[in-house]
């Protein structure tokens, strides 16, 4: 008798616990169903889909059937987008990361569409080289496989400079004239040196003439040295004098010539030499 009573009480307790658990599950199921419907009306299709899948799996009878019907509508109306990227040469790129609304969605492009809620979304792509690009798109309800294309900018080609070649401007006439004065002064100095050593050499030549044939070699060497220095000074006199004359006359002519050019013919120069005999 006691055993039968105990069995009866255990059965009643189990039945009561089952009813409580069933009531809790039913209450949770109804809450999930209501949340899914609210997300559907707010166009939060991804959250609605997650709740409806749970509702279909856990809710009984008519509630599960209603969730299944709404789930089909949500899936049909959920827009999708496909990210596509090309490199600088226009070739398709696979190894590129895609971020949507600040969330990393793809580690690499696989050509598959990504479901998103209707509305505005911010796409960002990063190529293997580290370059990135961003784009904002607005997806409509029911829009499928919207292509979001990113093209990497081509590398700039090196182009020859279009700036005309700059030629060095000819010296200013004033600069030429200044140089002419400097060279003229140098020419005068060389001329004075020539005169000094020419006279000195002539004196040494006279000394050698008086002491022939008993002259020392040093006396002859001294004469030759003076004549050599005199000849070099004369050559420098003619060279610097000729350049000075050219610069002076060309500077005067270029000041009035067209485009700063002039034609100038330097006066003929005559070499003067000293002949001596020993």
The model scores a pTM over 0.75: no
3-state secondary structure of 156: coil
Q: How many domains does the chain have?
A: 3
pLDDT score, position 270: 36
* Helix (DSSP H) and strand (DSSP E) numbers for the chain: 5, 7
**Using CA atoms, how far apart are residues 83 and 132, in angstroms rounded to an integer?**
14
Same domain, 52 and 88: no
pLDDT score, position 106: 93
Same domain, 69 and 87: no
Same domain, 236 and 192: yes
Structural domain for 52, as ranges: 23-77
**C-beta separation of 45 from 39 below 8 A:** yes
Handedness of CA 37, 42, 45, 50 (dihedral sign): negative
Q: Write out residues in the chain with pLDDT < 50, as ranges.
A: 5, 7, 9, 12-18, 20-21, 258-278
Token pair 């255990």 is at which residue?
A: 10
**Using CA atoms, how far apart are residues 247 and 176, in angstroms rounded to an integer?**
5
Same domain, 178 and 243: yes
Question: Per residue in 143-172, pLDDT tens?
Answer: 999 999 999 888 776 565 555 555 555 556
**C-beta separation of 211 from 261 below 8 A:** no
């Amino acid at each position: 008798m006691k055993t039968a009573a105990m069995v009866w009480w255990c059965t009643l307790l189990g039945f009561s616990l089952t009813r409580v658990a069933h009531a809790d599950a039913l209450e949770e199921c109804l809450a999930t169903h209501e949340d899914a419907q609210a997300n559907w009306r707010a166009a939060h299709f991804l959250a609605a889909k997650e709740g409806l899948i749970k509702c279909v799996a856990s809710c009984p009878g008519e509630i599960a059937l209603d969730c299944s019907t709404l789930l089909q509508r949500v899936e049909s109306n959920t827009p999708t987008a496909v990210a596509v990227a090309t490199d600088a040469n226009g070739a398709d790129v696979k190894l590129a990361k895609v971020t949507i609304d600040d969330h990393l969605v793809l580690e690499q492009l696989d050509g598959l569409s990504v479901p998103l809620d209707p509305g505005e979304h911010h796409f960002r792509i990063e190529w293997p080289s580290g370059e990135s690009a961003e784009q904002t798109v607005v997806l409509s309800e029911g829009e499928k496989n919207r292509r979001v294309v990113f093209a990497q900018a081509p590398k700039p080609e090196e182009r020859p400079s279009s700036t005309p070649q700059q030629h060095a401007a000819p010296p200013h006439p004033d600069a030429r004239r200044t140089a002419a004065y400097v060279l003229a002064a140098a020419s005068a100095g060389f001329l004075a040196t020539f005169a000094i050593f020419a006279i000195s050499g002539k004196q040494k030549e006279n000394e050698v003439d008086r002491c022939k044939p008993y002259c020392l070699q040093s006396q002859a060497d001294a004469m030759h040295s003076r004549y050599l220095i005199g000849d070099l000074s004369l050559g420098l006199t003619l060279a610097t004098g000729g350049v000075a004359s050219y610069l002076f006359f060309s500077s005067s002519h270029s000041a009035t010539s067209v485009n700063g050019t002039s034609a100038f013919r330097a006066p003929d120069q005559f070499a003067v030499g000293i002949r001596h005999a020993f």
